[in-house]
Amino acid sequence: PPLSTLINLEDFELAFEKSGAKKAWAYIHGASNDLHSLNANKSAWGKLWFRPRIMRKVRDINTKMSMFGQPSAMPVWICPMGIAKTAGEEGERALGGGAAKGGIIHCMSTSSSMPPEDIVTAAPKTYPFFFQLYVDRTREKTEALLARLNQLDQVKALFVTVDLPVVSKREADERIRQPTLKMSNYFGDANKSSVDKIGGGLARTTGNFIDNTLNWEDLAWLRKHTHLPIVVKGIQSAEDAKIAMQMGCAGIVISNHGGRALDNAPSTLMVLMELRRDCPEIFDKMEVHIDGGVRRGSDVLKAILLGARGVGVGRPFQCAVAYGTEGVEHACELLQDEVETAMRLCGVTDLEKARGDMSYLNCAELE
């Protein structure tokens, strides 16, 4: 369908599914085992209700938020997602360029289809990016990658993904035994997709470089090789959120990898509520971000009212790559408009000031 007929983020996913690119759809949309966490992420947002305030003079509102010191039109970043070229020719350049046009930030993936040096040139010269790191079993490879990132002024934060020490079983992707998708990530041929006895899972057959010995003590090693603020992506309990804070991380991302890691991991909204209950102090000491199933501007508003400083959106943007930079920009515009509308209807005029103000929320259904 023409881009102008897509009016919300899910429309991008539906359009991609209909396009008939079966293997790419299985890779992008797929999640682990029985999809419980995938579905829970999304349905949880619908169980959180607002307490709208009225008569607030809502003509002028402010959606801007800085994240890790970087200004953004709204508190939204595009999630790191592997091999965006599976969705469209422009690949990650569409994500980076479209994010810049929409005023938000793209977090590049270690498993991108092109090097970060290429991706950043899709945006204006000083436009900020984040970078997501998978630590390689061969630590020297990670050190070399970090050295390259240290040369890239546009990269402003390092999101270290910790929820996927092994790639999980994503059955839709396994069932399509088609190893033909080309990619050229940083590690060259070693990470070509293939087919084996289990199936043709794109992430599984390319993800075996991830180091499953990674642990908290490795943060000291990382710090030796990067000057970037370190953000731990994949926090799923209050205990681990507290450790991240004690270890001096700049922030955390509450994430279950979009339901693509451990199935039956709690919805990320459940985890956010757990943090509010068990360690409310961390929200002022480091940046708390969240991703998973965020599809509406009202979901973004909910996350901010619960104290998050930023929200990641994944699959819809990957699907928007099918429409190139223009598609990603359009997705940004739709979301920006929804955030503004939700704020006005809820009586919130300034996102930054309302951050953590739970008086705008009714959490009864989640308790």
Binders of ligand FNR among 4-23, rule CB under 6 A? none
- Nearer of residues 111 and 236 to ligand FNR, judged by Cβ: 111
Write down the least CB distance from residue 293 to ligand FNR, Å. 5
- Nearer of residues 125 and 162 to ligand FNR, judged by Cβ: 162
- Nearer of residues 21 and 345 to ligand FNR, judged by Cβ: 21
Report if residue 254 touches ligand FNR, rule: CB under 6 A.
no
Report if residue 257 touches ligand FNR, rule: CB under 6 A.
yes
Within 10 Å of residue 199's Cβ, how many Cβ atoms? 18
- Nearer of residues 28 and 183 to ligand FNR, judged by Cβ: 28
Write down the least CB distance from residue 50 to ligand FNR, Å. 21
List the structure tokens of 46: 């619908």
Angle between helices 297-305 and 36-46 (to 10 degrees): 80
Pairwise CA distance, residues 285 & 351, whole Å: 18
What phi and psi values does residue 8 have, to the nearest 5 degrees? -150, 175
Write down the least CB distance from residue 55 to ligand FNR, Å. 35
Let me know if 163 is a catalytic residue. Answer: yes
Task: Give me the catalytic one of 29, 106, 257, 330.
Answer: 257
- Nearer of residues 145 and 313 to ligand FNR, judged by Cβ: 313
Binders of ligand FNR among 37-96, rule CB under 6 A? 41, 79-82
Pairwise CA distance, residues 367 & 202, whole Å: 38
- Interface region with ligand FNR, contact rule CB under 6 A, candidates 50-58, 185-193, 307-315, 337-345: 307-315
Report if residue 291 touches ligand FNR, rule: CB under 6 A.
yes
List beta partners, residue 155.
Answer: 129
Interface pick for ligand FNR out of 6, 15, 26, 28 (rule CB under 6 A): 28
Report if residue 276 touches ligand FNR, rule: CB under 6 A.
no
- Nearer of residues 208 and 362 to ligand FNR, judged by Cβ: 208
- Nearer of residues 53 and 182 to ligand FNR, judged by Cβ: 182
**115, 94 contact by CB (below 8 A):** no
Within 10 Å of residue 273's Cβ, how many Cβ atoms? 18
Task: Give me the catalytic one of 27, 29, 106, 163.
Answer: 163
Interface pick for ligand FNR out of 23, 170, 233, 309 (rule CB under 6 A): 233
Q: Give the total of residues touching ligand FNR (CB under 6 A).
A: 25
- 202: burial class by Cβ within 10 Å (0-12, 13-18, 19+)? buried
In this structure, is the dihedral angle defined by the CA atoms of residues 229, 246, 260 and 181, taken in order, positive or negative?
A: positive
- Alpha helices in the chain, H assignment, sequence order: 9-18, 22-29, 36-46, 92-102, 116-119, 139-150, 171-175, 202-206, 218-225, 238-246, 268-278, 282-285, 297-305, 315-320, 324-346, 351-354
Pairwise CA distance, residues 299 & 311, whole Å: 9
Write down the least CB distance from residue 160 to ligand FNR, Å. 9
Interface pick for ligand FNR out of 63, 132, 325, 336 (rule CB under 6 A): 132
**143, 168 contact by CB (below 8 A):** no
Write down the least CB distance from residue 206 to ligand FNR, Å. 10
What phi and psi values does residue 76 have, to the nearest 5 degrees? -135, 135
Write down the least CB distance from residue 287 to ligand FNR, Å. 16
List the structure tokens of 256: 């279950």
Pairwise CA distance, residues 154 & 295, whole Å: 27
Q: Which residue is listed with tokens 């279950």?
A: 256
- 238: burial class by Cβ within 10 Å (0-12, 13-18, 19+)? middle
Let me know if 257 is a catalytic residue. Answer: yes
Write down the least CB distance from residue 269 to ligand FNR, Å. 12
Binders of ligand FNR among 324-363, rule CB under 6 A? none
Residue nearest to ligand FNR (CB): 314
- Contact positions vs ligand FNR (CB under 6 A): 27-28, 41, 79-82, 109, 111, 132, 161, 233, 255, 257-258, 260, 291-294, 312-315, 318
Which residues are tagged catalytic?
Answer: 134, 163, 257
